[in-house]
Chains A and B, each alone.
Chain A
């Protein structure tokens, strides 16, 4: 009985709606107060969680404006005056600018490639019946379950033999292959939810399969493509293991994560903590920006399959 009432109270007081009073007007005071307690509890929890996630980011950001001495002596204080030279130092001296551009090139091309090939494969798997369809789909699903650590050594030799080790195109290709399974898996189920008759209407209207895909199906699948695209951008931007193994040559080809690791080691010895935090912020901000800009589409994309 008690469990019932608790379950009843929960949906009446969703944790997000803090400002609005409990909407049920049954007049059962005890039930309302129980809802309030739950509400307060869940909000405290959410606030604590937000602080745990947000504060370190903010701390890194404001520390990037402090001098190294300041960071060590007063680690939690706000910057007294802004040391922008940390940023310029990180950008030019620690080569973060170079790494930043490399990362943009790699992530840009690999995300584009992943989305292009992934959605094309997914469309075919979702919409066309042919022998082996199911098998190919299951191979992609199996690819998701396969830990990348296990293929690092073979991958190293494959890229070496192909002569694309320690090159950006090589890294791009590996990123694409690495991201395809989840992209195909996600997009296949997304394409399955779209009405078949629209594609048929395009065929009757005289469109080829290629045109139907690019001009009709892709725009219709936009929410899914954007959300999985952002997922790939985030994942590939933060990728460290693959570049560490496959891109260990010339430092001019390094990506941000490698540079940051290097900065952490080297600047640590030199005591340039400000520079390290500036480098961290450089790596972090674009991702944050992407997420803020596309936040709505991500939410739309995540729920798009649920309703019709």
Chain B
């Protein structure tokens, strides 16, 4: 097994000015499952293809273990890749598809057969070994693509959105299978997805990219708890974090009719940069509903504490519900999402008063987007 290192790896497409991947610096540990996630066009697939050797590296280096593979062709990198459209060889049987790499490597037939059958057993493909890909369902094809990677016993698995062609239910099921398979095999894996739920559930660590620039690499938990900037805050989590621009007042920031305590240093840092406002992020589940009760720190005695949110749409999910409402912050109407308990769903059109839970707010500089709170 091996580590994978992106050392300021940069890819500029011919004819382009702006790098598709700009100085990517990531270290993937031995046996680690790293997920690259980001919106489309952020360079995540390009990064993976650079690691696979399918894309040139214009600057920087890529290492697998101690080996510099920056300019090696794919076949010399000892990697296996699962493609988004599976890229199975249409004229070969499932067994031949899975054994192709071994055949090229000159492994003898009995050994190939043994390893293909083992992989087929793991993936529940034994009865389909003699079929051609076109006679398989989408899920089975996906498993063949996985099998083709497994039989190689490579140093690194590369997966390029392998679940995006499956239906929603199968995707959730396969997600767990892939994650547990990876734990069992202990092979270093780099996995690309645009789906942040996949990223959060599968990865040991998650790397968020935007416009070719790495935004943050961290464990899913930390990524969720301490997003490094506004982009990560908005991207990770579903529904997305509420990001509301609020003015800085003495002692904290003003949040509707409530005062939210933010570290003095953080606010000071923003104020020093000349910002009059900061952006406060609150996840939907971190709003407390304080209807009528003025337990929060009300700024004016007359109005109830907290932010008044008019309910527009309610999504009931059974266990809980999401309230999509709008709130007046400053002079603007802002959309706000709040998670409520499954048994306490408010009526459409009603007004909720909410305050962000103490210690669960995120403060970002409005101008630079950097995280201010710690």
- Contacts from A to B (Cβ < 8 Å): 129, 195, 197-198, 200-208, 211, 216, 219-220, 222
Can you report 29 A-B residue pairs in the complex whose CB atoms are below 8 A from each other? A195-B85, A197-B83, A197-B85, A198-B87, A198-B88, A200-B52, A200-B81, A201-B87, A201-B148, A203-B53, A203-B74, A204-B52, A204-B54, A204-B79, A204-B80, A205-B75, A205-B101, A205-B152, A206-B101, A206-B105, A207-B75, A207-B100, A207-B104, A208-B75, A216-B89, A219-B89, A220-B89, A220-B91, A222-B91
User: Is the pair B148, A205 in contact by a Cβ cutoff of 8 Å?
Assistant: yes
**Chain B residues closer than 8 Å to A202, beta-carbon distance:** 89, 100
User: Is the pair A204, B85 in contact by a Cβ cutoff of 8 Å?
Assistant: no
**Chain B residues closer than 8 Å to A205, beta-carbon distance:** 75, 80, 100-101, 104, 148, 152
User: Is the pair B90, A201 in contact by a Cβ cutoff of 8 Å?
Assistant: no
**Chain B residues closer than 8 Å to A203, beta-carbon distance:** 53-54, 73-75
Complex Cα–Cα for A129 and B87 (A)? 21
Q: Mark B50-92, 1 if CB is under 8 A from A, else 0.
A: 0011100000000000000000011100011101110111110
**Chain A residues closer than 8 Å to B100, beta-carbon distance:** 202, 205, 207
Complex Cα–Cα for A195 and B90 (A)? 11
Complex Cα–Cα for A205 and B100 (A)? 7
Q: Assuming A204-B75, A205-B152, A222-B91, what are 20 further A-B pairs, CB within 8 angstroms? A: A195-B87, A198-B87, A200-B52, A200-B74, A200-B81, A201-B83, A201-B88, A201-B148, A202-B100, A203-B53, A203-B54, A203-B75, A204-B74, A204-B80, A204-B81, A205-B80, A206-B74, A208-B75, A219-B90, A220-B90
**Chain A residues closer than 8 Å to B84, beta-carbon distance:** 197
**Chain B residues closer than 8 Å to A207, beta-carbon distance:** 75, 100, 104
- Contacts from B to A (Cβ < 8 Å): 14, 52-54, 73-75, 79-81, 83-85, 87-91, 100-101, 104-105, 148, 152, 158
**Chain A residues closer than 8 Å to B91, beta-carbon distance:** 219-220, 222
Give the Cβ gap from A200 to chain B, nearest Cβ, in Å.
5
Complex Cα–Cα for A195 and B87 (A)? 8
**Chain A residues closer than 8 Å to B152, beta-carbon distance:** 205
Give the Cβ gap from B78 to chain A, nearest Cβ, in Å.
9
**Chain A residues closer than 8 Å to B52, beta-carbon distance:** 200, 204
Complex Cα–Cα for A198 and B84 (A)? 11
Give the Cβ gap from A22 to chain B, nearest Cβ, in Å.
34
Of chain A, the residue at the smallest CB distance from B73 is A203
Of chain B, the residue at the smallest CB distance from A207 is B104
Q: Among the listed B80, B87, B101, B148, which residue makes an inter-chain contact with A200, where contact means beta carbons less than 8 Å apart?
A: B87
**Chain B residues closer than 8 Å to A204, beta-carbon distance:** 52-54, 74-75, 79-81, 158
Complex Cα–Cα for A251 and B349 (A)? 99
**Chain B residues closer than 8 Å to A201, beta-carbon distance:** 81, 83, 87-89, 148
**Chain B residues closer than 8 Å to A195, beta-carbon distance:** 85, 87
Complex Cα–Cα for A222 and B79 (A)? 29
Complex Cα–Cα for A205 and B75 (A)? 6
Complex Cα–Cα for A246 and B87 (A)? 48
**Chain A residues closer than 8 Å to B148, beta-carbon distance:** 201, 205
Of chain A, the residue at the smallest CB distance from B75 is A206
Of chain B, the residue at the smallest CB distance from A194 is B90
Give the Cβ gap from B316 to chain A, nearest Cβ, in Å.
41
User: Is the pair B83, A200 in contact by a Cβ cutoff of 8 Å?
Assistant: yes
User: Is the pair A211, B81 in contact by a Cβ cutoff of 8 Å?
Assistant: no
Complex Cα–Cα for A222 and B91 (A)? 10
Complex Cα–Cα for A219 and B88 (A)? 13
Of chain B, the residue at the smallest CB distance from A197 is B87
**Chain B residues closer than 8 Å to A219, beta-carbon distance:** 89-91
